Structure 1
């Protein structure tokens, strides 16, 4: 018996897009954390999250971070090739500093010219401003060498750093293994009494998961790298829903992200 396979009488009608808004993530090959955070905090019925991993080799040093720059354009181009994205987020805080926010933006927009580019540093600055935080404490998992450019970045933008604590780690895969409860414990030690907020740097850390617990422990707002980028991507996609269970930042509008 020969099966007669027939073509339908008409072509299907198509939506303009499968999902209304598109957020592209460029993350490190070694990243354990960002995708899970964005699926938990950003992805929803009207916002799709699409990921590309780019080469990265430990240890976390300024030289190895800077080496990712040539991969940014090709990485962005492979996220839904030949289609537009609303936002592209490069998920590395320390590399955004050593490469430079403007350089990261130019590299990504070479492939996705209409996308708004978010880095953890631009998002963190926008988040701290939204919280009216000018005097901050900083906690990083990095070495002193890698932490110093982070400090210079925020000081250069007019923030006063009252305390800066780093954990001296060099492997982002180990940073991802720090339990959220440990992050809360280190946050208690890192916060200066007169700080307006605590910034916890590094997209590898599971700090966004711990943000609400950190705020309960220190009595002040916290901005983490992934919490800030998730917040910025949501607001840039028109999502203004307040989510207090994720921390104080997720209750704020966004006025700055450049």
Structure 2
């Protein structure tokens, strides 16, 4: 035991190497070249300097300094080795001394790595709390000596959500089970930019909300309706398709689909925010009849005014003072005759009528405006006070089209979509007049 002495219950070797020629390290960390290279790459790739806390004799720090890494070595001013030997051997340029419990002040922590080498009084967690900007931590420790508080082991931050393990490997040191581990701070989520505003909020309610319940084959109203109503400030148009089990435009198709009218209207929320709701199919309207249509629409929108394209045709002709019309429709004969009967029930005589015999809207919506014009001119006669163009699937309500046709015919023209939107506006209490859509909307 001549070469050892007992102090504070611990055994320390007695050392007698000359001060001017210290031998290899014996009480510090002394990594191999490969281990050093791993650490140097980690630091230099991130362009980081380092503060090494618990530097001991500074051997690791000296090796890093020789490889171009700016390292500040820090250790306690009261050393665990009472022999004074470690004060004689210092491998690095200098070791800064701090008192127990004191933190070394780090000037530029955001560009600095922290290196912790085991030490019984090392306040390593205090460093992490004091310098939250530090991006990288390297811990050299022996799991056998780790007490979780003052002696960090290489696995100390494995379960810490703030840190991510970059690498862990054996590190040559006095303690044979020493490991080194590098942890990078996880990138914190940026602070949320969203906050609850405190500025006043102004609300502008619509003058009227109009709802068109459409058959699923109708795509013309989707284009023509918004174009017209964009000219009426404060009026909103909502469109809701109802369910069909066939594409054929016939009385049987409409009768089977009738229950779906109520279901389509019932999907609208808030129901009490609707001012007017209407069935936007002329032939379905006159097949089902006014009373049935109203009952179906009111199931979904009980507080809204109701209308449909069939009654809108009659109301438009009454507003114009017309009792005799020429009629153009795209329907098969059965539906075309029902259109004549519907007008007659409203006191309007059809003095001339031509129908195209089309069975599907996918054909009707492709009929050109030139064709519609030619059929309207062809069916007109001197006895007719106005020309009616039935069916919303005919593209007869685009801006300017009705005005041009009235100028050519020299009499009012009523189309299904024009009359329907006019009726929706009027039953909702909107009396605005609109140019470009014929006499009906310009004067009534």
Same fold by TM-score greater than 0.5: yes
User: 2:404 aligns to what?
Assistant: 213
User: 1:22 aligns to what?
Assistant: 209
State yes or no: 1:204 paired with 2:384. Answer: no
Aligned partners of 1:237, 1:82: CA distance in 2, in Å? 15
- Larger relative CO (CA 8 A, sep 6+): 1 or 2? 1
Aligned partners of 2:380, 2:417: CA distance in 1, in Å? 19
Structure 2 spans left out of the alignment, 5+ residues: 1-187
Aligned partners of 1:158, 1:119: CA distance in 2, in Å? 18
The structure that has the greater radius of gyration is 2
- In the TM superposition, structure 1's runs of 4+ consecutive aligned residues that sit over 6 Å from their partners are none
Provide the TM-score with structure 1 as the length reference: 0.90
Aligned partners of 2:328, 2:202: CA distance in 1, in Å? 48
Q: Does the aligned pair in 2 maintain the 1:25–1:49 contact within 8 Å?
A: yes
Partner-residue secondary structure (3-state), 1:164: strand
The structure with the largest strand share of the pair is 2
Q: Does the aligned pair in 2 maintain the 1:32–1:173 contact within 8 Å?
A: no
Query: Which residue, 48, 52, 67 being the options, matches 2:240?
Result: 52
- Offset, 1:244: 3.3
Show the 5 A alignment for 1:99-114.
99-114=288-303
Structure 1 spans left out of the alignment, 5+ residues: 254-258
Aligned partners of 1:101, 1:155: CA distance in 2, in Å? 14
Q: CA RMSD in A?
A: 1.9
The structure with the largest helix share of the pair is 1
Partner-residue secondary structure (3-state), 2:376: helix
Q: Does the aligned pair in 1 maintain the 2:323–2:349 contact within 8 Å?
A: yes
Structure-2 change in CA distance of 1:128 and 1:77 (3 Å): same
- Offset, 1:116: 0.8
State yes or no: 1:118 paired with 2:343. Answer: no
Structure-2 change in CA distance of 1:208 and 1:16 (3 Å): closer
State yes or no: 1:41 paired with 2:228. Answer: yes
- Offset, 1:27: 0.7
State yes or no: 1:167 paired with 2:370. Answer: no
Aligned partners of 1:21, 1:156: CA distance in 2, in Å? 30
- Offset, 1:157: 1.9
- Offset, 1:11: 8.9
Which whole-Å deviations, capped at 9, do the CAs of 1:5-40 have from their partners, x for residues lacking one?
4752659646374x3321111111111211211101
- Offset, 1:206: 0.7
